[in-house]
Each structure stands twice: as structure tokens, then as C-alpha cells.
Structure 1
Amino acid sequence: MKIYWKYLLIVGFSALSACQKFLDVQPRDAVSDELTIVDKTSANTALRGVYRKLAADSYYGTLFQTFGYLPGDNVQWTGSQSVIQQFITHKINADNGNLQSVWTAIYATINAANHVITKVPLVQDATFSAADRKQIIGEAYFIRALCYFDLARTWGNVQITLTPTLSASDKSDLKNSTQAQVYTQVLTDLNAADSLLLPPASPNPVRANQQTAWALKARYYLYQKDYVQAANYAGKVLADKKTYSLLHPYSAFFTPASTLATKESVFELSYSATYTNGHRNSWQPPVNSGTRQWAPSDAFIALVNDPLIGGNRNALVAKTSAGLWYGNLYYRSSPSVDPSYVIRIAELYLIRAEALAQQNKLDDAREDLNAIRERAGLLPNTATDKEALLLAIENETRIEFALEPHRWFDLARTDRAGAVLNVTDKRLYLFPIPANEIVLSNHLLKQNPGYDE
């Protein structure tokens, strides 16, 4: 792990572009650690660096998102590289390069957040108000919580580090924590963020606020099968109609090209001409100057184009004059500034619907489900028993978030991957720890069951 931790030593100072001035400041890319966070200005610069790492190509920019949709059934790979095909066939090798890239990117983000969480409280600056200080620290806690949540649902038994990396070897003796321990850390960080952040004064989904923390808590509790709390926290966000709402029709949250940071988004990551979103290139066909490396599957194309299932969500796909179907969620060009959608308000409706259905509150669950269906131009669902309603929610979620990183994680957490994808070995619900990390840790870091070291 020496190479890996050495990589994390420098806190990146890259600006996350957005309409807010906070995110428009140009970065300093190589600042020695002892000078990184010494006043209000450098604290804000450091926080921008955390967001930039979260939005990087290997994290929410592109690669981590593929972990959520490639192992599912909505997306197909049009190439031949085995590094990608392994995710589709659920035969992932521990030496998979994308596995390593995402692992490193997430821990780089954690390390950047650790610098902010550790150092900002110590800053002596008369211009640095207590409110501004709390906001910066709270955002760093939220991002760290999201990182550990993604580690927990992807790998489960990972390392927990809560302090900045100060040397190439100071974290080399870290062993695995259990998945339960990692999820506990997620909740600890979310509670910290909740206590420090304020509700949004106006819609601004490119920066975390208290309700962003509530939204991730709702997702967290759903994964933990705490359906009372999942419904509670989803409801707290949904109650704020001033800040968040479903946009009509479905495509309104991502079209036209000038549409950015809408009330549909609870949390998204934005890009600029300086820092573009590479995801567009992988979805668009050559005729649109893309590579179309991922494309909607035949099964999904049939579903989304069925007016009784997809409704107006068929805006997610388009077809070239040569008959090639492609995904159209990411489409902006010159430059490619599509946002990465992390949490949308539609997810909160479906989280609450599932949580209420699990509590046998079927009428209330159906109401939330039908809010999503009505926005898609569909007739209300009329399921009257719990299992039928849960299946309807699963199917609705599949279409609603088809090109976003949900499908695989949803099927794994609900233990439905066997029935839907024929992944009957539950050990494969977690991915293998990158082989290089195990070797460099002198095997203190143990491989997940079901995979060879």
C-alpha cells in the first residue's frame, strides 16, 4: 500500500465549476501540506479540492458510476476489453484495473476530506466566522460519509481512516473493518454533517446542506432495512417543496442543454470547460463525436419505449440514422459539462415508497410510487398486496434511474440479484479488493470471500 498512500499525500486543489462563485475559483495544484489550510481562503480552497476529487473521472465522473449499472440489466458494453466485460458477467478479477482506479479515487477523496475535518477547526483567522467554519467541516463530513457508503456497498470489508495521511507508510498497517463497521462510520459522519450544516436558503444542489445529509441518511437506512427511519428522512426532504420538486416531464431535469442544477437534484456534481465530464463521450455514438462504449440494452430499450412502462422517459434513449440506440442522459458537448447526478428527489419518493410498503402502509406507498408514474405520463399503479407493490417499485426504479448508478446496488441490497440476474453466489454481491492493495499491505488487508488473493 506504500504507493497508494503516497499518492494520497498531497491534498488536491482543483476547483469544481458551478454557477456559484465558490466553485469558480481557479485551483492551485501543488501546495505543501503545512501550507494547505491556514486561513479562511485556504479552507475554502481545500474544500473545493474535496469536491473535485469526488467528481473525478475515476469516481462520480465516470468509472464508479459504471459499477452501479454495468452489472445490471439496463446497459450493455459494446467493446471487447475484458476489464469491462468482467463487471457484466459478474466474474471480476482482483487485478481489474478499473477496480483499482475507483478504490484509489475514493480513498483520495477521503484523505482530502480528512485534511479539512482535522485542520479547519484549528485555523486562526478573525474573518473566518463560526457559521462558515461549520459549513465547510459539515460538507467534508458529508462527502466522507458518501465515500464510506460507496465503499461499504461495493467492497464491504474495507479500511477506515479518519486522519490525514502524513507519510507514505503511516497507514500501511491498516486492516479490514467489517461491512457493518464501515456502515457505522457512515452514520457517524452523517450525524456530524447533520449537526453542522444548515437547510438550504435557496436551491443549490452542487453543495451539501443539511437536507443533503438527510437524503443520504434515507438511502443509508433503506440499505440497513430500517424502514421507519428511511421513510422518516425521505419525508423530511420531500416536505421542502420550495427547494425540491419533481420536474415535468421527466426530461426536464436534464434538457435543454442549458438546464443545470434544477430543483430535481438534491445533490449533483458540476463541471466546466476547464474540468469536463468524460461520461458523455462513453454514451454518445460516433456521429455525435462519442465512442458509445456503453449503450442501452435491448431489454431496456423495449421497456423504456413501451408507452405503458417507460412513458415519457423514452427521452433517455435516442437512435442514429443508422439504427444505433444510445443513452442520451449525458449529451452536452463543446464543452462536455453534463452534471453527475448523485441524489435526485425522485429517489426520495421511491425510497419512501419502498420503506412504507415494507411497513404494510400500502396506500401511502402507492401514493409516492404514483407521483413518479404521473411525472412519467403513466396511469396510477393499483397493486393491493405488499409483494406486488414492492415489485412495482423495483421495476419503476429500474426505468427511472436506468443510466444512473442504482440498478446493481438495488438488486444486491434486496437479495434479488439471483432471481433477476442469476447471480446466485451471494459472495459476489461484493467486489474483490484490488489485488495490488493486498500485496502492498503485506497481506494485512484480506481479500473478500469468493475471490482469490
Structure 2
Amino acid sequence: MKFKSIRIFILASLPLFGACDSYLDLNPISDATSSNAYNTASDAEAVLTGVYDSFQSEYYIWDNVIFSDIISDNYYAGGDNPEVFSVADLDIQPVNGRLFSNWSQLYSAIAKANVTLQKVPEINDPKIEVGNRRAQILGEAAFLRAYHYFQLVNLWGGVPLILEPVASTNPEVTQVPRSSVNDVYAQIISDLEFALDEKLPDSYGSDASVNKARATRGAAHALLAKVYAQKPDRDYAKVLEYTDAVINSPAGYRLLADYRNLFDGNTYNNAESIMEVQFIGGPEANFGPQLLLPPSVSGDTWRKFMTPSKNLINAFDQAGDVIRKESSILFESAPWADEFWSLQVNGVIPFAYKWKEANGWASTNRQYIFRLGDIILLKAEALNALGRTAEALEALNSIRTRVNLPELSSTNSEELGLLIENERRLELAQEAQRWNDLKRSGRAVEVMNNLVEIDLRTNQPKNFNMTQDKLLLPIPQQEINRNPLLTQNPGYN
């Protein structure tokens, strides 16, 4: 099974606010010509559809997991794609095709947001003012642009800031140098503050499939919390402010009583979900589960592209974390050899299992963009950093008690920080969070260089040769070739 040949393009499935029609009935505005595309309220909804459509690109379906979970100590690479193995080996070169693919998809998403932000203010149609809809559309587009830039800055550091549609092929227009990391974060914050300025609502009504699909105040607050935690000059007071805004939101987010329901495939758009992509099957489906699930679920026998690591399994076992382990991982006999688990064909190995249904490349299973469990643990991290240990423990233990784990206690901030980091690992495995967590704590180099993973083919430990330079990906070589104003990240040729 050659993953590199898989190319599935699917349309977004976001219900249309304020009408009985759905976004499924609208074509992305890019299908229209620029001369007649932006005249009506329906055109505005259609151009916004194109922005949301980007959440069903390959990056958001599972490449974000490659560059967070496979790159870290959580999962091994599998399948037959050498570019994915190079990520797991921390040996990523600028010519790795996944870099250019992801870079292009994220900038394509930003380009769609830029068009929305430029064209929607010019539409002269009274219908767009109903329910403050024009302002909401602009807020949603600004949020989405911020979200995509947040991905870029964490993957590559400073990147070109493109904030207007590019209508020229002139190199003076298309060739843009990198902005600083601080400038990119400043733009992300500016976009989110714009989105919150009386534009985004707490909810769009009573339909959860709308409220969990679209940018809301809760989603913007969640992203701001992550931004202030991740930026180089982090501000944990701000993290606390925005995590509290999510937790106390009028939208009424709450932890599900049973963690397993988050990933049973039947309980999406739930009370814990802040935002998620609305995969509904058919042409609006998730192909990712077919890449990961075992033969008994996927119905095929080729080697899967991601395998839980022994280190991750040990972390679950050492914590006595049965509920989250069984929700995240399924052990099964595999009709192939695995260099870390079993050199014998048909040996028992673990499979990534937060997605439960493959359905022949057309799964309805989802990644959460934001959920409350993540935000509560981020609040615990902020409280600990601010010296409020008892409150940090309370937040941490609220996550532990729902999976029947004993409450933890600590009066040492450093120790508590490691406990929170480990809890995030167990809570959020396969949810594209681990690498940012390790980078934020300053422990990525230490963790990867101390990781003992034995390659059964050689009976030798794998050497990851992790360095500070590898905290960022190399700028794609195709982009360097196209834009001579771009400089490469340190450590890459």
C-alpha cells in the first residue's frame, strides 16, 4: 500500500447558519470567477466554506499527528513511506515531500481566509447584515487564519506573513521574506482579538453540529490560551485568563463523565468538544483511520503507518491508566513483522485506536480541534507556573478522577510540572499535542536523547541524535528554490 499515492480531496460539511440549506449545497467560492463571485450573502457563505474546507486537507487529517506524535516518543512510523520514517528518525531533510505538501496546504488555507477578509466587507446585500452575520463571517475567517499561522510558526518558526490576496505573479509580490517568530505570534493574537471583538458568538443556536463545527468565542479563547503558552515570551497569566474563559463559557463546556465516549465514534459534537471537523462519511469523510487501524477493523492486511511506542505503553502501565490505554490502543496480531514489537509475522502489536472505524477510506471518525480536557490541563500548567500549586493539583486531578486514577499531590513546582506533562501525554495521545508540549517544557532534546527504543533487528537502541535545531522543521527546499528571500532554519543544508 503506497501512502504517497493517496490523494483524496473532500468538501467541508459545515451547516449554513441562518438557513435551512447546508454548506454542502454551496461550492467553495474558488470555483467561481473573480468578476462575479462576491456579490451576495450566499457568496459570502460560500467563500467562508472554502476556508473551513481546509480542515479536510491531508495536513489536518493526519500529517499533524505525524509531526507531533510520530516525531516524538509517542509512536513509531510504519507503512512503506520513507518520508514518514525520516520524521520518526528525526532525520528530516528539506527535500522531504511532506514538508512542501503541508506548507502549501496551510498557505492555501490562509489565502482563502485572506480573500474572505478582503471581499466580504465589500458585499452590498442587506441579507448579510441579518443577525450580525457579516461581522461573524469576518471573525470566523480571522480565527481560521490565526489557527493556520499557529501551525506554521510551531512547525517552522518565523514564516512569511501573507495577509492579503496575492493577485500578481510578479516576484516582487510573491517573494516574501520570513517574519520573526514574535511578529507571527503578534499577528495571530491580533487576528484572534479582532475575531473576539463582538464578532464571534458563544454559539450559533441549539444545533451542536453547527456550534462544534464553527469558530466560536470558546474556540478563540482556547487558541489564545495555547498561543500565550507556546510563544517564546509566554504569559501564563494570559493562559489562565483564556483557559478560564473557556471553562466558564456560556456555551457550557463540560468534561464527559466517561472518557471512552470521546472516541467511541458515536458521541461527537459532545459537551467536552469545543471544535471539531464534521466528517459525515461519503465525500465528506476521513481517510486517516484506514491508515492506522488493525486488520480486524480496516479489512486489509498491509502494514499500518503509525504504531504506539513501548515508551508510551509503559507510561500508561506505570500510571495504572487502563481506561485511556484501552481507548487509545488496541493490541492485535499483525500479518507483518515489526522491528520494535515482533520480528515474527503474526506477532501481537499495538495499534493506534482513538479512531475506531475505517469504513473503506470513508470514516466519520474525527480529530478534535479543541476539547475541554486539553484546556483544563493547560490551566493546571499555568497555575503551577504561577505558583498556585493547590489549584493546579485540583485541575489536574479533575482529569485523573474521571478515568478512575488516584489523586496526585505535590508541593514541588518542578515535580508537578512533570506530572502535568505526563498527564497530557496520557490524555492527548494521537491528538497532535505531544511535540508542542515537549518543546514548551524545554525537554524535547532531553526526552528524545534519553529514549531507549530497541530495534529488534539489531538488538541495539535507536539513536535519535536530537538537537535544538531539530525543534523546527527545515523550510521545504521547493519553497527555498521558488523564493530566494527565504532563509533556511539552522542545522539544515
Could you tell me which residue of structure 2 aligns to residue 175 of structure 1?
177
- The amino acid of 2:54's aligned partner reads K
1:377 aligns with 2:404: yes
Distance change (3 Å), C-alpha of 1:168 and 1:340: farther
- The amino acid of 2:96's aligned partner reads N
1:260 aligns with 2:268: yes
Structural mapping, 1:133-144, within 5 Å: 133-144=134-145
- The amino acid of 2:352's aligned partner reads G
Contact 1:319/1:325, CA 8 A, preserved across alignment: yes
1:209 aligns with 2:210: no
Q: Distance in 1 between matches of 2:466 and 2:86?
A: 16
1:390 to 400, 405, 417: 417
How far 1:174 moved relative to its partner? Answer: 0.5
Q: Distance in 2 between matches of 1:14 and 1:124?
A: 27
Structural mapping, 1:55-70, within 5 Å: 55-57=56-58, 59-70=59-70
Distance change (3 Å), C-alpha of 1:299 and 1:207: same
Distance change (3 Å), C-alpha of 1:312 and 1:82: closer
Q: Distance in 1 between matches of 2:378 and 2:322?
A: 19
2:12 to 10, 15, 31: 15
Could you tell me which residue of structure 1 aligns to residue 350 of structure 2?
325
How far 1:51 moved relative to its partner? Answer: 0.7
- The amino acid of 1:293's aligned partner reads F
Distance change (3 Å), C-alpha of 1:133 and 1:412: same
In the superposition, the TM-score normalised over structure 1's length comes to 0.92
In the superposition, the TM-score normalised over structure 2's length comes to 0.84
Q: Distance in 2 between matches of 1:368 and 1:352?
A: 7
Contact 1:313/1:400, CA 8 A, preserved across alignment: no
Contact 1:83/1:98, CA 8 A, preserved across alignment: yes
Structural mapping, 1:150-165, within 5 Å: 150-165=151-166
Q: Distance in 1 between matches of 2:218 and 2:249?
A: 9
- The amino acid of 2:135's aligned partner reads K
Distance change (3 Å), C-alpha of 1:308 and 1:372: same
How far 1:25 moved relative to its partner? Answer: 2.4
Contact 1:316/1:328, CA 8 A, preserved across alignment: yes
2:427 to 378, 386, 400: 400
Contact 1:37/1:123, CA 8 A, preserved across alignment: yes
2:192 to 190, 193, 197: 190
1:339 aligns with 2:369: no
CA displacement 1:333-374 (0-9 Å, x = unmatched)? 433111221111011101110001001100000011011101
1:428 aligns with 2:470: yes
Could you tell me which residue of structure 2 aligns to residue 223 of structure 1?
230
How far 1:303 moved relative to its partner? Answer: 2.8
Could you tell me which residue of structure 2 aligns to residue 235 of structure 1?
244
Greater Cα shift, 427-436 or 121-130: 121-130
Could you tell me which residue of structure 1 aligns to residue 489 of structure 2?
448
Contact 1:270/1:340, CA 8 A, preserved across alignment: no
Contact 2:79/2:304, CA 8 A, preserved across alignment: no
How far 1:283 moved relative to its partner? Answer: 1.2
SS at match of 1:35: coil
Greater Cα shift, 198-207 or 85-94: 198-207
How far 1:304 moved relative to its partner? Answer: 2.6
Distance change (3 Å), C-alpha of 1:310 and 1:355: farther
SS at match of 1:258: coil
SS at match of 1:342: strand
Contact 1:250/1:313, CA 8 A, preserved across alignment: no
Quote the sequence identity (%). 30
How far 1:54 moved relative to its partner? Answer: 2.5
1:276 aligns with 2:285: yes
CA displacement 1:357-397 (0-9 Å, x = unmatched)? 00110000001101110112111111121011100000000
Could you tell me which residue of structure 1 aligns to residue 124 of structure 2?
124
Q: Distance in 2 between matches of 1:313 and 1:93?
A: 33
2:253 to 228, 236, 244: 244
Contact 2:324/2:427, CA 8 A, preserved across alignment: no
SS at match of 1:318: strand
2:394 to 359, 364, 367: 367
- The amino acid of 2:488's aligned partner reads Q
1:86 aligns with 2:86: yes
Could you tell me which residue of structure 2 aligns to residue 33 of structure 1?
34
- The amino acid of 2:248's aligned partner reads A
- The amino acid of 2:146's aligned partner reads A
CA displacement 1:137-162 (0-9 Å, x = unmatched)? 10000000001111111101210011
Structural mapping, 1:94-113, within 5 Å: 94-113=94-113
Q: Distance in 2 between matches of 1:88 and 1:133?
A: 44
Contact 1:190/1:217, CA 8 A, preserved across alignment: yes
Q: Distance in 2 between matches of 1:432 and 1:303?
A: 30
How far 1:114 moved relative to its partner? Answer: 0.4
Greater Cα shift, 379-388 or 77-86: 77-86
Q: Distance in 2 between matches of 1:282 and 1:437?
A: 28
How far 1:318 moved relative to its partner? Answer: 1.1
Greater Cα shift, 290-299 or 139-148: 290-299
- The amino acid of 1:175's aligned partner reads P
Distance change (3 Å), C-alpha of 1:88 and 1:333: closer
Contact 2:230/2:436, CA 8 A, preserved across alignment: no
How far 1:299 moved relative to its partner? Answer: 2.0
Q: Distance in 1 between matches of 2:89 and 2:308?
A: 16
- The amino acid of 2:381's aligned partner reads E
Contact 1:54/1:106, CA 8 A, preserved across alignment: no
Contact 2:254/2:272, CA 8 A, preserved across alignment: yes
Contact 2:384/2:417, CA 8 A, preserved across alignment: yes
Q: Distance in 1 between matches of 2:448 and 2:323?
A: 25
SS at match of 1:384: coil
- The amino acid of 2:38's aligned partner reads I
- The amino acid of 1:388's aligned partner reads E
